[in-house]
Structure 1
Amino acid sequence: MSFDLKQPEVTIGVVGHVDHGKTTLVQALTGIWTMRHSMEVRESRTIFLGYADGEVWECHGCDYPDRYTPEPVCECKPGVKPRLLRRISFLDAPGHETLMAVMLSGVALMDGALLVIAANEPCPQPQTREHLAALEIIGVKRIIIVQNKIDVVSRERVLKNYDEIQRFIRGTIAEDAPIIPVSALKRVNVDALLAAIQKYIPTTERELDKPPLMYVIRSFDVNKPGTPPDKIVGGVLGGALIQGILRVGDEIEIRPGIEVRRTSSGKREYEPVLTRVEGLRFGDINVDKAMPGGLVAVATSLDPSMTKANAMVGNIVGKPGQLPPVLDSITIHYSLFDKILGLKEEIKVEPLRRGEQLYLTIGSSNVIGVVDSIKKDVADIKLDRSISVWKGSRVAISRRVMGRWRLIGWGIVEV
C-alpha cells in the first residue's frame, strides 16, 4: 500500500530495563531527547511515554548497511542526495519497575519494538524480562534486540552478554529476533540498526476502510501562561490511530470521556465528549488527514482545562456513535504466569481470588478491578471506573506484590 510520506508509517516502541540507554538510543535515531517534562529532567529518568519521529534515508551505491542513515546526509559518498524511505514514530517507554503501568499503556500502539539490553549488566534484568512478557501479552511480534553500551565494556564482555541474550530469548516471542550491537551514545552501528528496522519491522497493511479508532496516551494544554483570551487554542490529544482515517474538520467523540461525579461508594462516573478536529500534526509536520502508523497530535475545540496534565489519557477517540461500548464490569478469559517476572527473586504466582484487587491495562487505559467471580480460567471483574472496550481486547493483569503492582498474567475480554 502506498503511504503519504508526510506522516510516519509505523510506531516502534523502545523498551527495556531502567538505565539501559533507551532515551539515548531514541536520540541517536531521531536527534530528539524525549525526556521533556520538568519532573523527568529533575529526576533524570523517563517517567511518561516519550515520543519522537525519525526518518530512514538510503544512499544508493553505498555498501550494506552503510547505505542507511537517519539524516539526509550520505557519509560514504559526500555530495550524493539520499532517498527518504519512510518516517517512523518512536515511543520511549519508562524502564523503572514503578512505572510498568505506563509502559503497558503504550504497548497497544506499537507495530514493533526495540528491546534495549545493556552489555554492562548481566542479562536478563527484571524489567528486561517483564517488558518482553508485556510485548508477548499484547501481541507485538516484530522485535529487534539492541545490545547497547558496547563502548563501555571489553570485547569479551560483549560476547558473553551476547550469549546471555541468546539464552534469555530462547523459547520466547523474540527467539528469532536479530541482536544488533550498538553504542547509542557514540552512534555506533546506527546504520545496522536502521537496516534491521527496515527488514524486520516493515510497514503493514492498515484497515483504512473501518471507522477511525485512536488510543489516547497523552493530552495537553499548549497555551502558555498569560495567553490572551482571544489567542487561547483548544486542548490537544496525543496518541495513535489503530484503524480508519481522521481528517481536519471531523466531528469526534471521546469515550468514556470526562469524570462528572463520584458515587457514595467512590465509583467514578463519566460522560462522553463531542468535539471537532481543528488540526493534525505528526512531529513538526501538519497534515490534513491522519492514518494509522505514527503518533499523532489532534488539536481540538475542547476547553484546554479538560486536556491539561494528561487528563484524557486512556480514552478512545472515533466518530460519534461508532465507538466501543462503555462498561463498568468485564468478563475475561485469563492465563497467569508461573512466576512473577519483575523481581530478582523467584515468587510463584498464586491463583486469582474472589474479592482480590487487580490492576488492569486495556489498550491505553489503566484501571483498578475487583474480582467478582471466578470459574476455571474465566473471571468477572468489577471496575472502579468505566472504560470503552470491545470484545477481544487484550488485558495485562497486575497484582500488588511487595508494595508494587507486578505483572502476573494476561487475558482476553469476552464481554
Structure 2
Amino acid sequence: MEEIVIEAPTNGDANSNLMKQDLSSLNIDEITALTPCVISRQATINIGTIGHVAHGKSTVVKALSGVHTVKFREELKKNMTIRLGYANAKIYKCTNPNCPKPGCYKSYGSAKEDNPICEVPGCGHKMQLLRHVSFVDCPGHDSLMMTMLTGTAVMDGALLLVAGNKPCPQPQTSEHLAAVEFMKLKHMIILQNKIDLVKTKEDAQKNYQQIKEFVKGSIAENAPIIPICAQLKYNMDVVCEYICHSIPVPQRDFKVNPRMTIILAGIVGSLPPVFVELQIKFYLLARLLGVESSDGEALVKPLVAGDILMINIGSTHTGCKVMALKDDMAQISLMKPVCTTVGGKIAMSRKVERRWRLVGWGEVVKGTKKVSE
C-alpha cells in the first residue's frame, strides 16, 4: 500500500494550528487512540445520544460541538431528528492546576487548534486536548427505533437524555436503554436535561429519584446523573469532565487491517462473511417497552415457526422469517444477505400495532453463507 504523508496546511489556513501527521516518521508500535497527533485531527471515540423524543439529544450535541445535526429538509420542517446525525467535538482541560473545576474543562468544534487559551476569567493559560469525540445523534421517536438501533453499532459509550420536567421513564427512554443493554454497551452518563423548566428544587429531586429507580439493576445503575440545561449550555463543562473520566477510549490496534462499520455508504477495508441464513441464540423480553394493553403491560409472545421479525445486526437491519425453533435457539432465513461474524449481537423486533417494537436480543451461533455468483 502506498504511504500518504498528511501535512498541516500553511498560509494562514485554520488547520495550520493542528499537529502534523507524517506517516514516514510515525512509530506504529507506540501510537494509541490518545496520541496527540492522532486526536488533533481524528476522533477516536464514538458517543451516542439516546432517549425519548424531544428530551434534548440534538441540543446537547450542538452545545458540545457547535454543530446542528438536524440538517435534512424533512427534519427541519418537523423540527425532529429522523436520520442519524453526526458531529465531532474536542474536549480540553486547562493546564493551570489552580484553574477551578469544572470550568477548566471546555469543548469546541473539531477544527479548533490543539492548545487554545483558557477562557476562565483571569486564567490565560493554555488548554490541553484530552478527547476528540464523534457524536452519534439518534432519533427518539418510536417509529424510528430501527434507525436508533443502527446507531448503537458504532457506539463506545452513550449519553442518556432524560427531561427533568417530565415523569421518568418515558416510553423510548425505556426502549433505548434496553437497546444499548442488548448491544453490550457498558459506559453511560445520564443527563437530567431541561432543569431550567423544573419549577422547584423538590420537583428536581423527585425526578432524580425517578431516574435512580428506573436505572436500578441496569447497566446504567451506577452511571453519573448530571443536571443540565443544554439550551443555555449550563453544566456542559461538567459533562466534558465526566466524558473524560467515565467513558474510556477503547484500545485501537493500528497494525491490523481496518474493518469498517458501514452506516451511510461506501466500503473501506475488509468485509465479514455474507450470510443468507442464521442460527441464533435468543432471549425475549418479558414485556413490550413503552406499550400498554387493555390489561396493563403488554407481554411479549413466544416465538413460533413462521414469525416475521425485523433484526438489527451491526449497522444493518433486515426482515427475517423464523424457520425452526428449539429451546432458546432459532433458525432464521434473511430477506436480504447481511455481513456479520459468529458471536455478532442481534436485536429483534416484532410488528405491534403497525410499528416495529423491540422484543428481544441474541447472538449469531452459525450461519449459511451466500454463494458467490
TM (normalized to structure 2)?
A: 0.83
C-alpha deviations, 1:332-371, integer Å up to 9, x for none? 0000010011325511011101001000000000100000
- C-alpha separation in 2, matches of 1:326 and 1:51: 27
Match for residue 193 of structure 1? 239
Q: Helix, strand or coil for the counterpart of 1:414?
A: strand
Matches of 2:281 and 2:159 in 1, distance apart?
29
Stretches of 4+ moved more than 4 A in 1?
none
Contact kept, 8 Å, 1:328 with 1:386, in 2: the verdict is yes
- For 2:189 and 2:282, the matched residues in 1 are separated by 28
One of 63, 82, 85 as aligned partner of 1:47: 82
Aligned to 1:65, the other structure's residue is in SS state coil
- TM normalised by structure 1 equals 0.74
Structure 2: how far apart are the matches of 1:83 and 1:50? 27
- Report the AA paired with residue 400 of structure 1: K
What letter corresponds to residue 273 of structure 2 in structure 1? P
Asked if the contact 1:62/1:77 (under 8 Å) is kept, the reply is no
Q: What per-residue deviation string (whole Å, max 9, x for no partner) do you get for residues 260-286 of structure 1?
A: xxxxxxxxxxxxxxxxxxxxxxxxxxx
- SS across alignment from 2:189: strand
- Distance (Å, rounded) in 1 between the aligned partners of 2:121 and 2:344: 47
Q: Deviations over 1:155-198 (max 9, x none)?
A: 22111100000000001111000000000000000011111111
Distance 2:176 2:259 in 1: 25
Size of the aligned set, in residue pairs, is 317
Is 1:181 aligned to residue 227 of structure 2?
yes
The answer as to whether partners of 2:43 and 2:132 remain within 8 angstroms in 1 is yes
2:62 corresponds to 1:27: yes
Q: Which residue in the other structure is 2:149 paired with? A: 104
SS at match of 1:110: coil
The reply to whether residue 329 of structure 1 matches residue 277 of structure 2 is yes
Q: Is the Cα contact below 8 Å between 2:313 and 2:347 reproduced in 1?
A: yes
| Alignment-derived partner of residue 384 in structure 1 | 335
Matched to 2:334, the amino acid is L
Give the Cα separation in 1 of the matches to 2:85 and 2:228. Answer: 21
Name the structure 1 match of 2:349: 398
Query: In structure 2, what is the Cα distance between the partners aligned to 1:84 and 1:400?
Result: 46
Q: Which runs of 5+ in 1 are unaligned?
A: 220-236, 238-253, 255-316
Partner of 1:159: 205
Q: Which runs of 5+ in 2 are unaligned?
A: 1-31, 109-115, 367-373
Map 1:2-151; keep pairs closer than 5 Å: 2-3=34-35, 4-5=38-39, 6-59=41-94, 60=96, 61-71=98-108, 72=116, 73-151=118-196
Contact 1:57 1:82 in 2 (8 A): yes
Higher strand share: 1
RMSD: 1.3
Quick one: distance in 1 between partners of 2:303 and 2:254? 39
Match of 1:224 in 2: none
* CA distances 1:19-41 after superposition (whole Å, capped 9, x unpaired): 00100010000011000111111
Distance 2:53 2:121 in 1: 35
Corresponding residue of 2:309: 358
